[in-house]
Amino acid sequence: MAGQVTIHLHNAAAGKDEALADAFIGDHLRALAGVPGLRQVQRFACSADQLLREIAQPWRYVTIYEFQSPRPAIDVPALAPPLADLRDAGLIEQDGTERIFSYDMYSDWKTGPAFKAAPFTHMMMLLANFTPGREAEYHRWYDEQHSVEVTSSPGYVAMKRGRLSPTQVPPYNYCPGDQLILAGIQTDDMDASLEEFRGRAFGRSPSGVAWGPRSTAASIARTVHIFKSVQGPFQPSDG
């Protein structure tokens, strides 16, 4: 089963970063034990190292909730009360930046040759889109070419992708990315991994490795975000 992923993009209320971290491993993790189908949760903070330096990073944190549910229309929205508790406790900044998006995944993690059975240290996240009318070409490029290129780049060890789900967790907001790409990273030098990633993408890597051309079926209407793991991964029962 490919499962579902809900991403909670948020900022801590002023002066509440430490309290939010404490709540996450306390009351929040205990509340998640009552969410059916939730298998893993991991919290990340925005990394100082970003692939596209010119793109603003509006979110300080993202929490990734991974589901394996045969009834996502029922189980995924059950995440709403535990998130509302964080909001009601005054821990989430209420300035209009908070976003919660749920995706139905196409497959489980596709791993590369350097993958280790260990937590991801970082996560690269794309809120992406395909060029209208070219969806089949978009998926073919990702499945046959780009996922292989990315998961063979130093530090980048896994990828999985999904489509925006008809089932969402309130509060509801417009989502700019119909497609979600998650790239799991295991590295102790994110800056070096990014430099090699950029070098391969533009054919300038000292390693001599160059990627194939980027498919025009992949729309340039996307945002790219890199986060560093700060808490987890946890199983809901860990609470």
- pLDDT, tens digit, 9 for 90 and up, residues 137-173: 999 999 999 999 999 999 999 999 999 999 999 999 9
Supply the DSSP string of 28-75, one letter for each residue: IHHHHTTSTTEEEEEEEEE-S--SSTTS----SEEEEEEE--S-HHHH
Distance, CA of 50 to CA of 42 (rounded, Å): 20
pLDDT at 237: 76
What pLDDT, on the 0 to 100 scale, is given for residue 193?
Answer: 97
Percentage of residues of the chain with pLDDT beyond 90? 95
Task: Determine the Cα–Cα distance for residues 224 and 169; give it in Å rounded to an integer.
Answer: 22
* Tokens (6 digits) for 188: 């102790």
Average pLDDT, integer, range 123-139: 98
Assess contact for 76 and 69: CB atoms under 8 A.
yes
The number of distinct structural domains making up the chain is: 1
Domain containing residue 56? 4-238
Residues 6+ apart with CB under 8 A from 11: 59, 60, 61, 92, 93, 95, 97, 98
Q: What is the mean pLDDT of residues 73-83?
A: 97
Indicate whether this model's pTM tops 0.85.
Answer: yes
Handedness of CA 171, 176, 181, 184 (dihedral sign): negative
CATH number at residue 147: 3.30.70.100
